[in-house]
A and B are shown apart, each in its own frame.
Chain A
Amino acid sequence: MRDAFISVLNEGAPRHPELILLTGDLGFGVLNEFVDRFPRQYLNVGVAEQNMSGLAAGLAIEGHTVFTYSIGNFPTLRCLEQIRNDICYHGANVKIVCIGGGMSYGAVGFSHHATEDLAILRSLPGMLVLSPCDLWEASEASRYLLAHRGPAYLRLDKSVAPVNLRPGEIFCPGTVRVVRDGADVTLAATGGILAEALLAADRLAELGIQCRVLSVHTVKPLDTATLAAAASETGGILSIEEHAIDGGLGGAIAESLMEVGAFPNFFVRMGLRNTFSSEIGSQQYLRKFYSLDAAAIVETVSAKLGIAAGSCA
């Protein structure tokens, strides 16, 4: 996803001379083409995320489209007050890009895992929160941000779901994308972990359960209508995210459905339950450890629907 984002920047920078990319001294090797081709539109601000975010606000107020770029929590939680006061309060045209969404950085350790970012960033007034699931969504979301005005957060995952487009499908920010249709249960995921939802849907299909798989690439503003339809048309909803269950995708869905009076038959938030991702291992290992992989999804759905998961679990 990172490479998809950077290639969109490389492609868009000549057409957007006001665009400027700030990095907090990260992106070794991957930013070379951008740096070589657009030196005036690139700024390595050093390991100083508070200053990066304040600078971004100042540049945006002067008319630039600013991207800030770093890993995990560094461009978000480390400088949250600058994002709140300097960027969001002024409606500044700053796009905050996190590479390493969720537990992408695996064995690097919990310091590099972004597992509260969605909850925190979506609470900020005026913030657009994008969390693509595959390379197509990552490219399209990045492209959308080139022309979008105002604060935005782009959460990029290392893992990706397979690209599975309907003919002529276009990317619509602010909507929930129906990746697969079904009426028995809804699997609503955000980020690369949608791959687990698709695997689970395949296995559940073998048990005769048809899943509706939704990619919530826009966590804010949330497409309540599509989710409310899922609540009434399918047998229940699972939210699936590499994130704390508190206030992230699951929280957002629960809030908005309750507010519109749409109550699914059951609702399960799959995510980290009051725990840091302190176990050590790859992203895939961590998903299994924290019961967020396809097997865990199959098991949860089976239990809720009262059928035996059998060998599929």
Chain B
Amino acid sequence: MTTPANYSTRYLARRIRTHALRMTSSGGGSHIGAIFSCADILAVLYGGILNVDAADPNKADRDRFVLSKGHAGGGLYAVLAESGFFPIEELQTHYKDGSHLSGHVSHRLPGIEVSTGALGHGLSIAAGMAYSAKLKQAQHRVFCLLSDGECDEGSIWEAALFAAHHGLSGLTTIVDYNRIQGIARVSEVIELEPFADKWTAFGWAVREVDGHDHDALQCAFEAVPFASARPSCLIAHTTKGKGVSFMEDTVLWHYRIPRGAEFAAALAELENQT
């Protein structure tokens, strides 16, 4: 664990959001609302849950983290830079010509297992990794972060069936359930409710959590696997755009780029948070 000892995960989350705000503003792209939505989840995971080491990013017994909602790549880049996987200055290249930091997450950077971006891919890859660990009787775990809109993809449910059938208790899926997808609210597009029941019916051990409550997230992650011989699903109830009042719970800020007065106001809000 390489997070500086004096960083609380809340401080780390604020750093992720501040980096992401600057990155999306200067790069002119990517998904600020979706990053803010999962910033607390990333902070708690990288702030002490995941067994990863910036000095040895490919060590065999590391926990694997797959960001299936690859459009929130800015958040993962930020938390990895904060954790020492690559220089923080590199974040400034995000979305720019010649950068390693594409909008959707890229495994060209140390600490990133796989490139994603097309939705519905990550859970199958993570299940393959977890199945391999089970075959090898390895102790490392696999975590996969999904978006809610991504659960429209049939491939998610193919993977969900597989993981439960094979009792992949080393696999934990986190769903960033902010209830807003690309261009409209989940309830208006394709209703996912009863969402927890669906995962339960597919054979997963399910818990729900406030995805911005660090203590609750910490407790939930420390409790995985939630049941023996079953994969775990943590449904994180979140707010899209969390952390900047005018971005919160709006469809607009899935794609909108913060610039000018909006950028300044957002930065001021983040900097005033404790």
Residues of A within 8 A of B (CB): 40, 43, 45-46, 48, 50-51, 53-64, 81-82, 85-86, 89-90
> Distance in Å from the Cβ of B171 to the closest Cβ of chain A?
10
Per-residue contact bits, chain B 157-168, to A (CB 8 Å; 1 contact, 0 not):
011011000000
Decide yes or no: A85 and B117 within 8 Å by CB, A45-B162, A54-B159 being known contacts: yes
The distance in angstroms between the C-alpha atoms of A211 and B121, with both chains bound, is 48
Q: Which range contains the number of B residues in contact with the other chain?
A: 20 to 34
Per-residue contact bits, chain B 106-132, to A (CB 8 Å; 1 contact, 0 not):
010000011111101101111111111
Contact A61–B125 (Cβ < 8 Å):
yes
Partner of A86, one of B114, B135, B158, B162: B114
The B117-159 residues at the A interface (CB cut-off 8 A) are 117-118, 120-121, 123-133, 135, 154-155, 158-159
Among A54, A57, A81, chain B packs the most CB atoms within 10 A around the CB of A54
The B21-71 residues at the A interface (CB cut-off 8 A) are none
Partner of A55, one of B113, B115, B118, B124: B124
Residues of B within 8 A of A (CB): 107, 113-118, 120-121, 123-133, 135, 154-155, 158-159, 161-162
Contact A55–B131 (Cβ < 8 Å):
yes
Interface of B is mostly: helix
What residue in chain B is nearest A41 (Cβ atoms)? B135
The distance in angstroms between the C-alpha atoms of A255 and B121, with both chains bound, is 33
Partner of B132, one of A50, A62, A82: A62
Contacts of A90 in B (CB 8 A): 107, 114-115
Partner of A54, one of B115, B133, B155, B161: B155
Given contacts A58-B127, A82-B121, 15 further A-B contacts (CB under 8 A): A51-B127, A51-B158, A51-B161, A54-B127, A54-B159, A57-B125, A58-B130, A59-B128, A61-B125, A63-B132, A64-B132, A82-B155, A86-B114, A86-B121, A86-B125
Contact A46–B118 (Cβ < 8 Å):
no
Contact B115–A89 (Cβ < 8 Å):
yes
The distance in angstroms between the C-alpha atoms of A62 and B124, with both chains bound, is 13
Closest 6 CB pairs of A and B: A58-B128, A54-B124, A51-B158, A62-B132, A48-B158, A55-B128
What residue in chain B is nearest A50 (Cβ atoms)? B155
What residue in chain A is nearest B130 (Cβ atoms)? A58
> Distance in Å from the Cβ of A241 to the closest Cβ of chain B?
30
Contact B124–A53 (Cβ < 8 Å):
yes
Partner of A40, one of B118, B120, B135, B158: B135
Pull 8 A–B residue pairs with CB atoms less than 8 Å apart, ordered by A.
A54-B155, A55-B125, A55-B128, A55-B159, A56-B128, A61-B129, A62-B128, A82-B155
> Distance in Å from the Cβ of B103 to the closest Cβ of chain A?
15
Contacts of B123 in A (CB 8 A): 54
